[in-house]
């Protein structure tokens, strides 16, 4: 047995020795047969890259996948869990090129959540995932944290409704923020005013913007944080359904004096804010401040809203928000539209804002598929009245076919309908908007708004 083991060992040793090639022998082989070429038999692993992987919500993120099967169908999928724990998802179909690459800045989607060359399509087409709660509105609450989005490239053209057979080739995780590092968030609880002030990085001085949200309940901060990230001091103000404000929840329980106080509490002595530069959102309230109070804003931006309402204009006692239901339009699904509630032909003359008194430039952003408000009809009437008053130069209108009511910063999901917070959960409110056209309106209108603010807020004081 021992002898047999020695024989086997010598045989194996001889076999292994035959595989060893010394450098001298290798050089001889090269002389006889040419240079030795080493060839990889395996291709690199698929790679998905996001540039940048950390960005503001309104910044473009370039997505590009490498080392994929050539000229083959693949799917791109984005997934995100919102702060309320709901999963949002978008899926779109692509074909790799001859190099095995998919570049969302160059290549078109051929199906799925959107079609065409849409570099940020995976983000603005995000919707509640199949099987989850539908008709949600995405609104950021905690600005100290980002939205984290996981983007994957999958083999083949998958259906969003069936993920049982999916094969993930590569994935990347990225962050989308509303607030850049260095922005300061200051809670305002002074002289009975409730709000939040966002200051850009640096010592200032900064132009000041007041951001109002219509009938949004509580204190909505994310757009104000984004304004501050673009160099504008911005205060968002609570005036409806906030625990720090008195009165019933279904009323605006503050009056004119409340809004006059805003300019008295800005700013602290350490930071210089140009307080007379004021821009406000929400038409009735916005235009009342611009025409009737002693605030003297430098300019006004209005996004989809009326300058008249069936509700009486408030003074010092606030405004009742219990609308007359005879002007509600309810479709077969039970979804509510308020378009008739603010139609100029339905509103008593005493409930019109005296727009003729305005002294500052107005920018109106209009979604032509607005199902919540007759924005086109109100803009037409405002334009007519300013022309009659000899002030047509103060009015600028930007109108978007297919866009709905909720025109927000770029690359945020479109909300066509959502749960009506002040009613039972079965009630839904219609906002309108075609997915792709609404996304285009958000992308185009946001830089227009920023440019309008910059051109009017950073000039010489003419007040």
pLDDT given at position 55: 98
Give the whole-angstrom CA distance, residue 350 versus residue 313: 9
pLDDT at residue 209 greater than cutoff 90: no
- What are 248-276's pLDDT values in tens digits? 666 677 777 777 777 666 554 333 333 33
Q: Is there a cis peptide before residue 282, judged by omega within 30 degrees of 0? A: no
Query: CB count, 10 Å around CB of 340?
Result: 14
What global pTM score does this model have? 0.83
Comparing CA positions, the residue from 147, 125, 135 lying closest to residue 77 is 125
Higher-confidence position of 101 and 291: 101
- Of 58-67, 165-174, 244-253, 341-350, minimum mean pLDDT range: 244-253
Comparing CA positions, the residue from 58, 38, 60, 62 lying closest to residue 48 is 62
Rounded (to 5) percent helix, strand, coil in the chain: 25, 25, 50
Domains located in the chain, CATH noted: 47-177 (2.60.40.2240), 240-250+274-457 (3.40.50.1820)
| Average pLDDT for 343-369 | 87
| Average pLDDT for 192-200 | 91
Greatest mean pLDDT range, 24-33, 138-147, 162-171, 342-351: 138-147
pLDDT given at position 191: 81
Contact indicator for 59, 136 with CB cutoff of 8 Å? no
pLDDT at residue 142 greater than cutoff 90: yes
């Amino acid at each position: 047995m021992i002898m047999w083991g020695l024989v086997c060992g010598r045989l194996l040793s001889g076999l292994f020795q035959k595989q060893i090639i010394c450098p001298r022998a290798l050089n001889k082989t090269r002389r006889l047969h040419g240079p030795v070429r080493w060839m990889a038999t395996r291709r690199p692993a698929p790679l998905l890259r996001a540039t940048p992987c950390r960005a503001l919500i309104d910044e473009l993120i370039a997505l590009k996948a490498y080392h994929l099967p050539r000229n083959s169908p693949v799917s791109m999928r984005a997934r995100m869990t919102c702060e309320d724990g709901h999963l949002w998802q978008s899926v779109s179909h692509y074909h790799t090129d001859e190099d095995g690459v998919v570049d969302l800045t160059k290549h078109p989607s051929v199906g799925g959540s959107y079609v065409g060359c849409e570099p940020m399509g995976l983000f603005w087409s995000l919707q509640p995932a199949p099987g989850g709660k539908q008709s949600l509105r995405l609104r950021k609450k905690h600005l100290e944290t980002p939205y984290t989005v996981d983007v994957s490239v999958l083999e083949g053209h998958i259906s969003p409704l069936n993920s049982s057979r999916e094969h993930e080739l590569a994935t990347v995780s990225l962050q989308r923020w509303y607030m850049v590092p260095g922005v300061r968030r200051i809670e305002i609880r002074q002289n009975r005013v409730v709000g939040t002030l966002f200051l850009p990085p640096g010592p200032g001085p900064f132009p000041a913007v007041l951001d109002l949200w219509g009938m949004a309940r509580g204190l909505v901060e994310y757009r104000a944080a984004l304004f501050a990230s673009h160099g504008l001091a911005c205060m968002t103000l609570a005036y409806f359904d906030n625990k720090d404000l008195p009165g019933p929840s279904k009323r605006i329980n503050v009056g004119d004096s409340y809004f006059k106080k805003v300019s008295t509490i800005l700013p602290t002595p350490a930071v210089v804010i140009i307080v007379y530069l004021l821009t406000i959102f929400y038409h009735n309230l916005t235009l009342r401040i611009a025409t009737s109070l002693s605030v003297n804003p430098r300019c006004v931006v209005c996004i989809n809203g009326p300058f008249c309402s069936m509700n009486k204009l408030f003074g010092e006692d606030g405004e009742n928000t219990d609308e007359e239901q005879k002007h509600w339009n309810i479709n077969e699904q039970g979804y509510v539209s308020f378009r008739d509630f603010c139609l100029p032909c339905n509103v008593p003359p005493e409930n019109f804002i005296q727009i003729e008194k305005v002294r500052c430039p107005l920018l109106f952003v209009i979604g032509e598929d607005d199902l919540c408000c007759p924005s086109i009809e109100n803009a037409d009437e405002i334009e007519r009245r300013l022309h009659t008053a000899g002030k047509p130069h103060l009015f600028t209108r930007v109108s978007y076919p297919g866009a709905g009511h909720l025109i927000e910063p770029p690359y945020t999901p479109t909300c066509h309908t959502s749960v009506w917070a002040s009613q039972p959960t079965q009630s839904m409110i219609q906002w309108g908007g075609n997915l792709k056209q609404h996304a285009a309106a958000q992308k185009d209108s946001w830089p227009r708004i920023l440019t309008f603010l910059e051109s009017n807020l950073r000039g010489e004081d003419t007040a």
